[in-house]
């Protein structure tokens, strides 16, 4: 059986497929038409965030059995089309959670102490010591939207610097949220109380545009917003307005509505914004973790039919 790896994957994952006896082709950066040709004769497709698994691509697949995402997010996969085609879709939850949580915590520190602006100023010959008075995290309230693996780890990190941690997640009970290190609250209470609010939910119909003008207006005035989850959960124009008005003291984004960010985006002209180019899972450790996990999961499925972390159930 043949495995096609269409996005960069750590060598350890590639080797697992080879050791399991699969024919492996690594071909990244393909255009859609090229991918439609390459998918023929392929039993397993390994992707990250770049490859778009569309209904059109699935229609071109003749023997495809499984799509494996080396990571968590699946907004680049047409899951209903895969299900209709009889193709299993699986991801590797938890393998990059620590990396994403640490980045979110890093953004919180950067916002509190003006690290990005301070760095830029010094390099430009400025000495903005008086202008960049920061705030300490000790005693502040960290609000976490989404108490899954990443939210749980961030709660531990926040507690470690003596922040008060509150959390909201409609899919966990109050007892579960407490067990994950946060005081359970409603969404409105999360918005009203958090000094730093960090988003850790997938992009769905319910969460797309969740942070808009109305939501931002409900946040504690002078709070900070961090999004290391998915672009499109925060409406960027509304965020810019909230930053300009002072409703939000600062924001940190690792993900954006359009990536790469357009050069004329208002976001890029805000001194109160810290941003990184979608680095959430981009650590050496996380890259190896997701590669090994997806290779093991896909190999097991293709050989035994056992599908770990499948998100659909084709008939």
Residues assigned a catalytic role: 230, 259, 278
Q: Which residue has the tokens 């299993």?
A: 88
29-45 in b/e form (b: 16+ CB < 10 A) is ebeeeebbebbeebbbb
What are the strands, taking DSSP E only, across the chain?
Answer: 2-5, 23-26, 44-47, 66-69, 88-90, 141-145, 164-168, 183-184, 196-199, 223-227, 248-253, 273-275
DSSP state for residue 172 in the 8-state scheme: S
Residue from 22, 24, 65, 70 nearest 50 by CA: 70
CA 309 to chain centre: 17
Question: What whole-number distance in Å separates Cα of residue 58 and Cα of residue 61?
Answer: 5
Q: Is the dihedral of CA 226, 228, 234, 235 positive or negative?
A: positive
> Three-class SS of residue 241?
helix
Question: What whole-number distance in Å separates Cα of residue 238 and Cα of residue 236?
Answer: 5
Token duo for residue 282: 């981009």
Asked whether 188 and 172 are in contact (CB, 8 A), the reply is no
Contacts of 210 (CB under 8 A, 6+ apart): 201, 233, 234
Residue from 175, 178, 216, 209 nearest 194 by CA: 216
């Amino acid at each position: 059986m043949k495995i096609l790896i269409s996005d960069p994957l750590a060598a350890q994952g590639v080797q697992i497929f080879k050791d399991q006896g699969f024919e492996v082709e690594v071909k990244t950066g393909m255009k859609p038409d090229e991918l439609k040709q390459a998918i023929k004769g392929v039993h397993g497709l390994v992707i990250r965030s770049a490859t778009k698994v569309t209904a059109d691509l699935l229609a071109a697949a003749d023997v495809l059995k499984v799509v494996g995402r080396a990571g968590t997010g699946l907004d680049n996969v047409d899951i209903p089309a895969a299900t209709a085609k009889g193709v299993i879709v699986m991801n590797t939850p938890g393998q990059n959670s620590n990396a994403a949580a640490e980045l979110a915590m890093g953004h919180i520190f950067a916002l509190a102490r003006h690290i990005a602006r301070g760095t830029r100023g010094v390099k430009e010959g400025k000495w903005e010591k008086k202008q960049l008075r920061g705030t300490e995290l000790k005693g502040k309230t960290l609000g976490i939207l989404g108490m899954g693996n990443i939210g749980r780890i961030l709660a531990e990190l926040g507690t470690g610097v003596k922040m008060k941690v509150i959390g909201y997640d409609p899919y966990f009970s109050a007892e579960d949220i407490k067990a994950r290190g946060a005081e359970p609250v409603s969404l409105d209470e999360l918005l009203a109380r958090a000094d730093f609010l960090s988003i850790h939910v997938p992009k769905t119909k319910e969460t797309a545009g969740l942070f808009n003008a109305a939501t931002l207006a409900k946040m504690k005035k002078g709070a900070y917003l961090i999004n290391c989850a998915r672009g499109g959960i925060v409406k960027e124009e509304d965020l810019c307005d909230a930053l300009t008005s002072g409703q939000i003291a600062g924001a940190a984004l690792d993900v954006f509505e359009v990536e790469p960010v357009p050069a004329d985006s208002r976001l890029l002209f805000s001194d109160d914004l810290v941003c990184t180019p979608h680095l959430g899972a981009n650590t050496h450790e996380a890259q190896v973790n997701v590669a090994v996990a997806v290779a093991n999961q896909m190999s097991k499925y293709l050989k035994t039919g056992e599908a770990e972390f499948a998100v659909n159930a084709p008939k």
